[in-house]
Structure 1
Amino acid sequence: MLEFNFHPFPVIETERLVLRRITNDDVNEVFELRSNPETMKYIPRPLVKNNEDALAHIAMIEEKIENNTGINWGITLKDNPKLLGIIGYYRMQPENYRAEIGYMLLPEFHGKGIIPEAVNILIKYGFENLKLHSIEAVIDPENYASEKVLQKCGFTKEAHLKESEFYEGKFLDKVIYSLLER
């Protein structure tokens, strides 16, 4: 069985991006991301209502890193430390050598190739450093932008689960994409 260790925290760089630890200093950007109905449209979780909620979200991220049960990075541009988005591994399954990748980005940075660049470096990190065998992504079937990113990054559609999650009085479908280490 795999054992994950996120200590020391791995800062990852790409051509344009720095993926770094999220801190309480990022509270305004985390609030902006998680309180925006547009960025949260396909994420069935409650909107954060204030900075206290945003700090609680940061604390939850930090707790998972401390316990080696999940890891999130703040997405920034190399020349600017301002947080533009969040990407990370959730629902880690060490017994199955599998983890779920997830990401979100402030709307003004959509369509600039930031998420595919971040996803590709995290795929490499997941297979080479975490020794994963497979990476999954669970998306809303109407999230065409995310679907396009996953396909561009080599993921394959594995399943479409009908009405498999109940959230805010409605049953929601979800689609699972995956990528196997080859």
Structure 2
Amino acid sequence: MNRNLRTFPILITERFTLRELSKKDSEEILLLRSDAEINKFLDRKLSKTLDDALSFINSIISNESDELFYWAITKTGEDKLIGTICLFDFLVDLKKCEIGYELLTEFHGQGFMIEAIRKVLEYTINTHGLKMIDAHTHKDNQSSTKLLQKLNFKKMEDIIENNPNVILLRLTT
């Protein structure tokens, strides 16, 4: 089903509202995608301008479907994006997808991402009936690895695309 025919799933936690990404998020997306600390473990080109951020947002909006969910994380009652979570690479026959996330540096270490990811996992499992959720992280990104392990993701021995710097963590429900 094309997402344009239905409402994007808004998720609410104790402290956050996870909503659809929009063009008005361009300044915060630029901050996320240009911050050297956030991006040091990611294999992507840094954004340099608002146009780069808008181009990224437009690509997300045009590709959203039942196979890509991209949430803006906002504090409830506020509209400013503080991070993002996405679900992608759905393999319906295997009941599996991948999760990715990022958070503005000033919000690190406050338990925000674990709360937001828990809500997305609940949605993914309960609404889509998925049995496996994968996360790829850099072997040196201990914060991300520890976060995923707190959420019951387990390190897998799989080699990731011949990249020895990336590890696979998997949640099996």
Shared fold per TM-score greater than 0.5: yes
2:171 aligned partner: 179
| Alpha-carbon distance change, 159 to 31 in structure 1, aligned in 2, over 3 angstroms | same
| Alpha-carbon distance change, 130 to 163 in structure 1, aligned in 2, over 3 angstroms | closer
Moved over 2 A (4+): 3-7, 159-165
Aligned residues: 172
Alignment of 1:140-159 (within 5 A): 140-159=138-157
Relative to the length of structure 1, the TM-score reads: 0.88
Superposed CA RMSD: 1.8
| Alpha-carbon distance change, 4 to 116 in structure 1, aligned in 2, over 3 angstroms | farther
Q: CA deviation at 1:79?
A: 2.8
Instruction: Name the CA distance, whole Å, in 1 between partners of 2:87 and 2:140.
Output: 22
Residues 160 and 168, structure 2, Cα contact 8 Å, conserved in 1: no
Secondary structure of the residue that 1:81 maps to in structure 2? coil
1:124 aligns with one of 108, 122, 125: 122
Instruction: Name the CA distance, whole Å, in 2 between partners of 1:108 and 1:150.
Output: 20
- For structure 2, the 5+ residue unaligned runs are none
Alignment of 1:32-111 (within 5 A): 32-65=31-64, 67-111=65-109
Sequence identity (%)? 33
Instruction: Name the CA distance, whole Å, in 2 between partners of 1:54 and 1:32.
Output: 9
Residues 69 and 92, structure 1, Cα contact 8 Å, conserved in 2: yes
Secondary structure of the residue that 1:125 maps to in structure 2? helix
Instruction: Name the CA distance, whole Å, in 1 between partners of 2:2 and 2:130.
Output: 10
Instruction: Name the CA distance, whole Å, in 1 between partners of 2:124 and 2:63.
Output: 16
| Alpha-carbon distance change, 68 to 163 in structure 1, aligned in 2, over 3 angstroms | closer
Q: CA deviation at 1:93?
A: 1.6
Relative to the length of structure 2, the TM-score reads: 0.93
Instruction: Name the CA distance, whole Å, in 2 between partners of 1:4 and 1:142.
Output: 38
